[in-house]
Homo-oligomer: A and B are copies of this chain.
Amino acid sequence: MSDIPALEALKQALRRLPGVGPKSAQRMAFHLLERDREGARLLAQSLTNAVERVIQCRRCNNFGESELCGICSSPRRDVSLLCVVESPADLVSLDQAGVYNGMYFVLMGRLSPLDGIGPEELGLDRLEALLDQGEIKEVVLATNLTVEGEATAHYITDLVRRRNIRATRIAYGVPVGGELEYTDRSTLARALSGRREA
C-alpha cells in the first residue's frame, strides 16, 4: 500500500495520538475513509479550531478560551482555597467530584530533576506570587502518589507554610467500593496510617 502517500501520512499522523499503534492507526484510517469521511472532516476542523483557540489561563494554567479560564473568572468560586494538581485532566476529575468549590493551580508536570524539570520549569514562581497576594488561606495538594508527585507536594508544602498558609493533602486510602481483600499493600498501609476518629 506504499503507493498511497495520503493514506500513509494519515496513519503516521494518527500514531501521534497516545495509545495508538500501527494496527489501530490503520483501523482508524480505514474506518474514516470507508465509512465516515464526514467525521474525518469534522475531526480536522476541531483539531485546527482547538489548537487556535484553546490557550492556558494566565493565573492557573488550566485550559480555556480567554486569558482567565472559566474557573478563575467565576464569581461563585471560593478564592481562599487553592488546589494544586499536576494536569488539566486531574483538575477535571477532581472538579467533577462536585465537593470542591475553590480555585486551582495546574503544574503541567511535576518536579523531576533527572528530566531537568525543577521549580522554575514548573512555574512555581507564579504560584508563589499567587500565594503572596494574601487571598489564599489553604492550599490543597492533589499531586499523584508517585515518588515525583510526593516530592513536588513536599516542596510546595514548604513554600506554603513559609507564608503561614495552611497546607493540606487529599486523603489516600481504600477506594469507595473497594474490597480490603483485593486492595494492594501500599494502599492499605496508607489507609491505616491515615486513620481518623470514627
Contact = CB atoms under 8 A, between A and B. Distances in A.
A131 to B, nearest CB: 24
Judged by DSSP, the binding face of A is helix
Number of copies of this chain that the complex holds = 2
Contacts of A19: 24, 27-28
A83 to B, nearest CB: 15
A18 B27 contact: yes
Size class of the A contact interface (CB-based, 8 Å): 35 or more
Interface string A40-55: 1111111111111110
A7 B45 CA distance: 12
Interface of A: 1-7, 9-10, 12-14, 16-19, 24, 26-34, 36-37, 39-54, 63-65, 69-70, 87-89, 92, 95, 108
A41 B50 contact: no
Given A3-B70, A33-B63, A47 B44 contact: yes
A9 B49 contact: yes
B65 A30 contact: no
B10 A50 contact: yes
Contact of A4 (B9, B30, B51, B63): B63
A69 B64 CA distance: 45
Contacts of A28: 17-19
